[in-house]
Amino acid sequence: MADLPRSAVTRTAKLASLPLGYAGRTALGLGKRAFGKPAELIAHEVQTRTAEQIFKVLGELKGGAMKIGQLLSVLESALPPAVIGPYRAALTRLQESAPPMPAATVHRVLAEDFGDDWRTHFADFDDDPAASASIGQVHRAVWADGRRVAVKVQYPGAAKALRGDLKQLGRVVRLFGVLLPGLDVRSFVQELQDRVAEELDYGWEARAWHAFATEYDGDQDIVVPPVVAASEHVIVTEWLDGTPLSKVIEDGPQELRDQVALRLVRFYFSSPTRCRLLHADPHPGNFRVTPDGRLGVLDFGAVKQYPDGHPPAVGPMLRHGAAGDIAGVAEVFRQEGVIRDGVEVDLDALATFVRPYAEPISVPEFTFTRDWMRERGLYMFGDGTSIFRALNVPPEYVMSFRVLTAGYGLLSQLAATAPFRAEAERWIPGFTDGPGTDTDTPDTSDTPDVADKSGSP
């Protein structure tokens, strides 16, 4: 496959095959049931074959389709036991791999962005990709000064393909109800559509990446590899050795799982305070555990800016929620305009919404499990009767809740136990009665860049 499949007809046909295939399998299942085959066995067969087709098509298309697959992989811990079995292997494959683009295509992108002499910037360049993602793939290389580097190259045609995929997926979202009945997939697809431009802008990603790398430089728990060079379609960073988080989830020892979970929470709770930025794509493919035990963070295409740190209502909301004071939560929301003047909110419904977010930080130490996530998943993901309908929720709060939901999904996959409350007390202003930790906004103006095709990266 030379580039991303860019033909609108080809890509639409692939996506259209999803509901058609499901309809065919369902009809076949009804036929088998008429001849006496047990309904549960038929449903399991339909789910298994649907999973195989869904993730095969998503993986081949990359782009927006693969972004949906990555999103669903984060929600894996909330899937019912009868459903998750046939999906888990396919979900994991989507987190870490996709069909590679040929070396000639990679060379063409590098020449277009770095100039025909692009090889002079590298002492060595491996044409075989080390990893693939939704809109780009990563190659190992050695920079001219001897540093080992990772070179992320955007797929040609990614912008057009990504937008087209998301538009088409918006028409077949009901199919994903097979994966998680009750999941408000439309809102996830809409959010992805809203964030496409940021993910495609490697210049913006490089600046955000640089801000994180600068702030966490020398941190004993978290490492972000520095940016070496960047252009419109290429980002070069120092190489980061480590074990993929998906491998830790699969078979890591419990002590390591607990340590990684605590570092994940530390990273997500601390970054709006330390960087004024939030990494908004918490799926396993974006994390590594380094040989010295630190949490390595990669891929900053989806980053939310928080110029003033955590949104002001988040800390007090979680504090009151952790204490079981739902009237206090409602008062915080009224003060921030989340609950409009004159609007009455069902406190029981509000408690149902707040409890899953606050429960893990309501006690000194908490254990995440898949069963816990499954029990609370529909309240966190939305089932069409969400309390959000009665609330005036600003975008920054929506993003905080979404990232927290996805992060809890990762912690549940890790089945981790750790003192998460202490991290909230340390990093989220308003969670305690104190003012919270504060830092200056980092300077991101000196991100390495490529001025033009003839300039040096």
SS3 of the chain: the string is CCCCCCCHHHHHHHHHHHHHHHHHHHHHHHHHHHCCCCHHHHHHHHHHHHHHHHHHHHHHHCHHHHHHHHHHHHHHHHCCHHHHHHHHHHHHHHHHCCCCCCHHHHHHHHHHHHCCCHHHHEEEEEEEEEEECCCEEEEEEEECCCCEEEEEEECCCHHHHHHHHHHHHCCCHHHHHHCCCCCCHHHHHHHHHHHHHHHHCHHHHHHHHHHHHHHCCCCCCEECCCEEEECCCEEEEECCCCEEHHHHHHHCCHHHHHHHHHHHHHHHHHHHHHCCEEECCCCHHHEEECCCCCEEECCCCCEEECCCCCCCCHHHHHHHHHCCCHHHHHHHHHHCCCCCCCCCCCHHHHHHHHHHHHHHHCCCCEECCHHHHHHHHHHHHCCCCCHHHHCCCCHHHHHHHHHHHHHHHHHHHHCCEECHHHHHHHHCCCCCCCCCCCCCCCCCCCCCCCCCCCCCC
Q: Which domain holds residue 37?
A: 8-95+163-195
pLDDT, tens digit, 9 for 90 and up, residues 117-164: 999 999 999 999 998 766 788 999 999 999 999 999 998 877 777 766
Looking at residue 98, its pLDDT comes to: 54
Instruction: Say whether both 184 and 303 belong to one domain.
Output: no
Instruction: Say whether both 182 and 315 belong to one domain.
Output: no
Instruction: Say whether both 278 and 181 belong to one domain.
Output: no
Instruction: Say whether both 178 and 320 belong to one domain.
Output: no
Q: Which residue has the higher pLDDT, 8 or 435?
A: 8
Give a yes or no: residue 189 inside a domain: yes
pLDDT, tens digit, 9 for 90 and up, residues 270-321: 999 999 999 988 888 899 999 999 999 998 988 989 999 999 999 999 999 9
Give a yes or no: residue 84 inside a domain: yes
Instruction: Say whether both 310 and 376 belong to one domain.
Output: yes
The pTM is what? 0.77
Give a yes or no: residue 146 inside a domain: no
pLDDT, tens digit, 9 for 90 and up, residues 389-438: 677 878 778 788 888 888 998 999 999 999 999 999 999 999 986 433 34
Give a yes or no: residue 14 inside a domain: yes
pLDDT-derived band of residue 85, with 50, 70 and 90 as boundaries?
Answer: low
Instruction: Say whether both 286 and 368 belong to one domain.
Output: yes
Q: Count of domains in the chain?
A: 2
Give a yes or no: residue 205 inside a domain: no
Give a yes or no: residue 454 inside a domain: no
Instruction: Say whether both 189 and 291 belong to one domain.
Output: no
Give a yes or no: residue 102 inside a domain: no
Give a yes or no: residue 118 inside a domain: no
